Copies of this chain bind each other. A is one copy, B any other.
Amino acid sequence: MRKAGIALIGYGTIGTGVIEILQDNKETIQKRTGLDIELKYVVDKDWTTPRRVEIQSAKKISDYKEALNDPGVEIVVELVGGTGFAYTLLEESLKSGKSVVTANKALLAEKGAALFDLARQQGKTIAFEASVCGGIPIIRTIADALAGDVIQSIYGIVNGTTNYILTKMAEENLDFESALKQAQKLGFAEADPTLDINGYDAAHKAAILAGLAFNTPVDYQKVYAEGIIGIDSVDIQNAEDLGYVVKLLAIAKRYPDHTFEVRVNPALVSRDNQLSFVRNEFNAILLESTFLGNSMYYGRGAGSRPTATAVVADIIDIARSLEGSAQKSAYVPFQNLSMKNIGETQNRYYVRFNVMDKPGVLSKISGIFGNHNISIASVVQKERSATDYVPLIMTTHSALEKNMVLALDEIEKLDFCRKRGVMMRIIE
């Protein structure tokens, strides 16, 4: 099996998540990809703070140069953040012939051009899925899925903190300050939320997306960023009245005259737009492209594990492109799972019966459900005047499908039931 040696720099929140995935899913990744992703080094200055995940076999070091000097390390994962040391680290890694995975949006938005140039010269890769909305595979969607298409515009809810605040202001009629406090309490906003609420975090992401989608350099300093500080709940309510939802949007558009725009601003989003349904801390990105049309990608923007998933995907992607990596097909059936029969599945159910409007009917039906271990969640009986039969609507808690079928069989035979009950499954 082809080995790929990894050095991970930065044993923080995301780094811990990456280590967790590489260790927990090592065998799965091997079987899926035919690659042995070997975490050789974890580099950090702090080896005393306890972390959520223990390092199993990687060497724990404090000097990143030791890792760069090891020819067995082919991929360096930068998770230190900032635009100072991180820049040096990427530069030295590329010069040492390593490919790089980074989650560092500020670095790429502000100083990416030189690094990407260097990577091209070195014939190495900078992979950066985790830099924009960790839980949404938007970088590879643009670079791979839309490689043959031309993207015309990008509209994104790319900052979970501000989306959480705006959702609470709209749905619970909170003012900005109260919504921010709630977000901080729940961990959706940092103690110093400045970069989020003034739109700079979103502007970093917008700059990266625009450069990638439009194949153009983007001067981050020129990106217009208007945040949500001091946004008035009156305007959010007015927007609702007009049929809109206020969202902080990252926007990038291309024009036929060789110009483009990139900006971040709060906007009234029409309820006909899928983005208007993106609530709380979730992110989503809507792409409009010539051939594919509209498509939207939705998920968690941040968090240790979603972002770590993106980092691991990038590691695997680079490893797959290394010389001697063989696996070709996406579909690798190394499991031989057994398929459940529909009768063995568990569902919540909606059922509708047409029953005679007389005493004892509900108790009889409920009794049959109970005998089959089906617990009723709600009952609606509507009165109808023109007929002896009335609709009886019930929902159940989760039950085994074969029990449900037996219950319906039994109920169908009752003389007060006009025909077999209509049954549909419920998904929360």
Contacts and interface: CB of A to CB of B under 8 A. Distances in A.
Interface in A359-403: 378, 380, 391, 393, 395
A428 interface: yes
A12 interface: no
Interface in A290-324: 291-300, 303, 305-306, 308-310, 312-313, 315-317, 321
A310 to B, nearest CB: 7
A147 B308 CA distance: 12
B125 A316 contact: no
Given A150-B28, A222-B339, A261-B345, A427 B295 contact: no
A32 B150 CA distance: 11
Which of A262, A298, A422 has the largest count of B CB atoms less than 10 A from its CB? A298
A340 to B, nearest CB: 4
Contact of A21 (B291, B316, B424): B291
Contacts of A424: 235, 239, 246, 265-268
Summarize A's interface: helix, strand, loop or mixed: mixed
Given A125-B329, A292-B300, A297-B298, A313 B259 contact: no
Contacts of A112: 331
A208 to B, nearest CB: 8
B309 A291 contact: yes
A350 B268 contact: yes
Which of A127, A135, A335, A339 has the largest count of B CB atoms less than 10 A from its CB? A339
Contacts of A303: 293
Size band of the interface chain A makes with B: 35 or more
A152 B397 CA distance: 21
A190 to B, nearest CB: 20
A321 B140 CA distance: 15
Given A216-B335, A274-B277, A305-B292, A145 B140 contact: yes
A227 interface: no
A56 interface: no
A106 to B, nearest CB: 16
A176 interface: no
B260 A337 contact: yes
A231 B20 CA distance: 47
A339 B428 contact: no
A160 B390 CA distance: 34
A214 B335 contact: yes
Interface string A226-259: 0000001011001101101010010100110011
A129 B147 contact: no
Interface stretch (A2-10, A62-70, A116-124, A404-412): A116-124
Contacts of A241: 380
A29 B224 contact: no
B148 A312 contact: yes
A300 B309 contact: no
Nearest to A35: B147
Interface in A258-287: 258-263, 265-270, 272-275, 277
A113 interface: yes
A25 interface: yes
A342 interface: yes
A97 interface: no
Given A211-B331, A296-B297, 11 more contacts: A21-B149, A25-B148, A120-B328, A146-B309, A155-B427, A214-B337, A217-B336, A238-B352, A265-B424, A266-B425, A268-B426
17 contacts: A17-B291, A25-B148, A28-B150, A125-B329, A137-B144, A137-B145, A144-B313, A144-B316, A147-B316, A211-B331, A212-B330, A238-B393, A251-B427, A268-B425, A289-B309, A292-B306, A293-B299
